[in-house]
Structure 1
Amino acid sequence: MREGSLEAPTRLPLDWENPDFYDEAKLDAEMRRIFDICHGCRRCFNLCDSFPRLFDLVDESANGELDTVDSKDFKKVVDACTLCDMCFLTKCPYVPPHEFNLDFPHLLLRYRAVEAKKNGVGAADRALTETDRNGKWATLISGAVNWATRRGSPMRGLEEKVAGIDPNAELPKYASQTLEARAKANPPARDEAAPAKARKVALYATCYGDYNDTSIGVAALAVLAKNGVETKVVYPGCCGMPKLEQGLLDEVADGARKVAAALAPYIDEGYDIVAPVPSCALMLKFEWPLILPNDASVKRLADATFDLSEYVVDIAKKEGLAEGMAPVEGGVAFHMSCHSRAQNFGQKGAELLRLIPQADVAVVERCSGHGGAWGYKKGNFETAMKVGKPAMRQLDTAGKKHVVSECPLAGIHIEQGIETLAGDKPKPERVSHPIVLMARAYGVASE
């Protein structure tokens, strides 16, 4: 038997439609099998809080082995997982095709799916998964919503009681106009001075890019247009990552079918699908095909989907970028987000930044600790800050004018952490995505 696999990790489809997937006895047996392997290995001790919790359970048990750990305590391990996938992709030597067939994140996802099917999802967690519903009404009254959700607002105490949101967590703001509406009012026009490229892009806005921070999409449209790419904004619905985190696999599958059907005509017309948020690109490219492995439309969409940084770097390598970028002064501390790393395509965000003339880029490849909505919650926020502190410290001490992460939620969390660490020192400016700095360099930014 091999000690560890030297082959590339291979993710196996989720067998979530099989009744055995939800059998609690079989789930417990599989958790004990995998947790025992993890206990004997412990290479993931420093990735997130799941592994210290697991190892503490074992070490503090009656005989120091897994067989004397009560199964009810496994929930503590599950609750700390943010589905970042870093253990699977960067640490574990026993992932498929190794015969141990160890996929820690998907095991814990299965636990959540069983829990959701048995007990349902709590009202507060359910509300956080409804990103399209929330975004549609929040953009209509964005001023009031942003006031109510800011740190220090008198409403945060109520939000803590009703929604379980930690009052100290910085929350994303809502835009007063969606990206779709902005693009409709000011359609992106291809720069006639730029050589036309045989590329067409349907920018999949994502719920965050459509309802919260539209500057990422606006910058992407401007940079692509500057480079002769025909672009348009499309947003049929959320990628389902918030629902995946809650184990609502049937709802994720329904959303995947809906979005794949809506984007199929664009693929037919030769459009590439580009997602500006790494978590959403990850869902379309990797998670959806594992949930619906026999769905041809989902597979076709996965093959046509690109992460935004990945796509711009591809243009630069194959056709070259349009001239006219000016240097961005002061340097950039770039955070490589977990869901960028999970796409397994290298440091595309850093490559994009280095396409800007005289770019001074320092890369930090450590987890921000945030983990989507997980990091907002009471009981998680302090852990999220603890896990993210090494990355925050490195980004702060890099001495650059700008700090940027491709993951916008990680960026907000990092900014808050740097505020805590920096004290009275000057703080770097948070930029929501590398594409925003490229748009500034081109002089086409409209944030």
Structure 2
Amino acid sequence: MDWQSEQFYDEAALDAELRRVFDICHGCRRCFNLCDSFPRLFDLIDEAPSGELDTVESKDFQPVIDACTLCDMCFMTKCPYVPPHEFNLDFPHLMLRARAVAHRKGETRLIERHLAETDRVGPVATFLSGAANMVTDRGNSLGRNVLEAVAGLDPRATLPRYADMPLTKALGPVIPEPNADAPAFGRKAVFYATCFHNYNDHSIATAAIRVLAHNGVAVTLEYPGCCGMPKLENGDLPGVTAGAVPIVAALLPYAAQGYDIVAATPSCALMLKFEWPLLMPGNAEVKALSEATYDLSEYVVDIAKKHGLAAGLQPLAGGISVHLACHSRAQNFGPKAVEMLKLIPEANPALVERCSGHGGKWGYFKGNFDTAIKVGTPAGRALVKTNPAHVVTECPLAGPHLEQVLEAIGQPKAVHHPIELLARAYGLERPT
């Protein structure tokens, strides 16, 4: 992405590219059942006077751009026209370009800018976690009505709760020693906490660190800052690249010493591995960090393949349904969560490759929440089709949303992270 050139922000050039790509999409329509961008686009064209793109006004493109959640699934799984095809079609990064143009013009909503500043909000919200969680609780109609009026957040959407303190303070001094009897003893990893695990939910991170240590990995916990995915969603490309600088400075020296970099959130692993190199293609340090970075499930599978896992895994009662998060799929390494869970004796996890519908912070907003539930409903139905005892997803934002989807279809279930099941199978975490 040549986002630092003036041509990138030229509105006439952007409009011409939007029209070129939208016309190709109109003639193909393979992505009709992905996110809501494509139904909006196709309805826009079908309802135009000519039934073609030539009678659609450019000002009407905005709802199509707004509905893209940057999941990359059209590019990765459906589109036959991605490079090296001569059409050179990359729908999600074109939507990103449109947002970057709008962001540069100052058109990003204040609340979206605010929510993207996770390292500004997180420390305050953890310090005031009691008050923050009370206001955002779905049962607090007064607080949620205020948030709806002030910030446009749908009062029905489950918002992330905040921990009492950041993970780096809560867990730093008590990371377990590596199991010297494990086949992988001697491996070293930096667990990149990510903003969600640092400020919101510690359970996935603590389960992951226990599993890695039990498998002989010497774990170091680091959180130099947010990966920038919330800012990427806003089109704030300068903000993303500026935020990458201190993270690279903090993590790359570990990689140079033979440490693996492990991220538990697929979106964050995707940023380090793919989006940063796309935005900073000439940066050798970004490239080196990208090559040292693993998604959590990918890392556990790598340990199993290269060394074998530590003894002690016990079967779990009941079936397992696995929602494959979009940003896990976008890393193009296969269903690693399923591979990981198959390491549990007698486990036969069922894979569901449908979008949860949440799309980062997109699904929280009034006007998006109903669509998010609608898009996620096929995934929800598939997840509970066999009435499994366990439902999991690697995306920490998709999990609570999928719980709301399952509530909506009358089959409520808790949704966990796959690493939590592995921790349970090892007896390292109490069932919840």
Same fold (TM over 0.5): yes
Q: TM-score, normalised by structure 1?
A: 0.94
Match of 1:63 in 2: 50
Distance 2:171 2:288 in 1: 26
Match of 1:210 in 2: 198
Go from structure 1 to structure 2 and tell me whether the alpha carbon gap of 1:63 and 1:401 turns closer, same or farther (over 3 Å shift). Answer: same
Pair 1:380-2:368 in alignment: yes
Distance 1:75 1:324 in 2: 54
Give the aligned residue type for 2:402. I
Match of 2:337 in 1: 349
Q: How does 1:315-354 map to 2 (within 5 A)?
A: 315-354=303-342
Distance 2:32 2:38 in 1: 5
Give the aligned residue type for 2:429. A
Q: TM-score, normalised by structure 2?
A: 0.97
Q: How does 1:10-409 map to 2 (within 5 A)?
A: 14-153=1-140, 154-195=142-183, 197-409=185-397
Q: How much does 1:420 deviate?
A: 1.7
Distance 1:33 1:256 in 2: 32
Give the aligned residue type for 1:435. I
Pair 1:441-2:429 in alignment: no
CA contact (8 A) 1:256 1:288 kept: yes
Q: How much does 1:195 deviate?
A: 4.0
Secondary structure of 1:440's match? helix
CA contact (8 A) 1:188 1:232 kept: no
Residue deviations 1:222-255 (CA, integer Å, cap 9, x gap): 1111111111111100010000000000110111
402, 414, 420: which is aligned to 1:429?
A: 414
Give the aligned residue type for 2:352. V
Give the aligned residue type for 1:152. G
Give the aligned residue type for 1:353. L
Distance 1:402 1:215 in 2: 16
Give the aligned residue type for 2:319. G
Give the aligned residue type for 2:12. A
CA contact (8 A) 2:184 2:308 kept: no
Aligned residues: 430
Distance 1:332 1:434 in 2: 9
Residue deviations 1:167-217 (CA, integer Å, cap 9, x gap): 000111111132212322312211233345331100000001111111111
Secondary structure of 1:274's match? strand
Give the aligned residue type for 1:135. G
CA contact (8 A) 1:400 1:428 kept: no
Unaligned 5+ residue runs, structure 1? Answer: 1-13
Residue deviations 1:356-379 (CA, integer Å, cap 9, x gap): 111131211100000000000011
Q: Which moved more, 1:312-321 or 1:138-147?
A: 138-147
Distance 2:82 2:260 in 1: 31
Q: How much does 1:262 deviate?
A: 1.4
CA contact (8 A) 1:369 1:385 kept: yes
Residue deviations 1:300-323 (CA, integer Å, cap 9, x gap): 110000000000001111100001
Residue deviations 1:312-344 (CA, integer Å, cap 9, x gap): 001111100001011111221110010000000
Residue deviations 1:70-94 (CA, integer Å, cap 9, x gap): 0000001001100000000100000
Distance 2:405 2:380 in 1: 6
Q: How much does 1:418 deviate?
A: 0.5
Give the aligned residue type for 2:4. E
Distance 2:404 2:272 in 1: 29
Q: How much does 1:139 deviate?
A: 1.1
CA contact (8 A) 1:57 1:69 kept: yes
Match of 1:3 in 2: none
Distance 1:320 1:64 in 2: 58
Secondary structure of 2:308's match? coil
Residue deviations 1:17-67 (CA, integer Å, cap 9, x gap): 010000000000011111111111111111111001111111111111111
Distance 2:160 2:348 in 1: 28
Go from structure 1 to structure 2 and tell me whether the alpha carbon gap of 1:196 and 1:38 turns closer, same or farther (over 3 Å shift). Answer: closer
Distance 2:386 2:331 in 1: 26
Go from structure 1 to structure 2 and tell me whether the alpha carbon gap of 1:177 and 1:329 turns closer, same or farther (over 3 Å shift). Answer: farther
